Amino acid sequence: MAKKNATKSAPRRSLAKPRRGVPARPGNQTAAARKATRSRTGTEKKEQLLSSEVVYQGPLFRVLHDKLIEPDGTPSERDVIRHHGSVVMLAIDPGKQKAGGKDPWIVVERQYRHAALRYLWELPAGKLNAGEDPLEGAKRELEEETGYRAKKWRPLVEYYGSPGFLGESMKVFIAEDLVAGDAHPEEDEHIEFRLVRLSELLKMIEQGEVIDGKTLTSVLLYARLQGRKRKK
């Protein structure tokens, strides 16, 4: 009886996964990954802008068609919306509880947004004027939209809502010790605002009633930071 030829399989190579927070050895990285690692650990490479053409200029923003060399050396063409930036105000009223309490009142607005084709619940926000100091812009916008002025201000976070094509930085400020006044919004602004408990606002977020990006980012981060403080 003829013996069957046994096929020997090649021994399996064990690929150890890098530990969390420890970069993989350079020999196991792709060229792109090695460049990314160098970028994080050293000076970031810059793009090379070859040309920039204004294809639309409006009262709020302008659209540019840019030709450039990406930081990794790739030629590219991008359509980008340029904007002076915006400010977001997380205005907090502790009510009868002490400042820094677990469930403060938050000033929120409801207004129709044509781009979204629906009404949205949002934090007060507004655009900056060219060269305007962000904090001063936040104070101006809060009073214009809601009538409130705040005695205490502090920064919360800065982020880009859609950096793939929108060069709008959004700076979020926490406003505390509120003083009520008369709102004077712009002619095209039709805003309904109210005070909502933080716990209720979080429920609205969980139930999908709040879908505005700046409100999600600001409220969830604030709630997370408040939770950390209570644990200490």
Phi then psi for residue 219, to 5 deg, are -70, -45
- State the angle between helix axes of 198-206 and 213-231 in degrees (0 to 180), rounded to the nearest 10: 120
Cα distance between residue 81 and residue 163, in whole Å: 10
Backbone φ and ψ for 57, nearest 5 degrees, come out as -130, 115
Residue with token string 């859609």 = 162
pLDDT of 167 higher than 50:
yes
pLDDT tens column, 116-131: 999 999 999 999 999 9
**Predicted TM-score of the model (pTM):** 0.78
Tell me the pLDDT tens digit for each residue of 108-161: 999 999 999 999 999 999 999 999 999 999 999 999 999 999 999 999 999 999
> Can you give the pLDDT at residue 13?
41
Residue 113 bridge partners (DSSP): 118
Under 8 Å between Cβ of 171 and 133: no
Q: Could you give all domains of the chain from N- to C-terminal order, each with its CATH number?
A: 48-82 (no CATH), 87-153+172-231 (3.90.79.10)
Q: Is the pLDDT confidence value at 4 over 50?
A: no
Contact 114, 188 (CB under 8 A): no
Residues designated as active site: 187
Distance CA 209, CA 205 (A): 6
pLDDT per residue as tens digits for the range 56-102 = 999 889 999 999 999 999 999 999 999 999 999 999 998 756 655 68
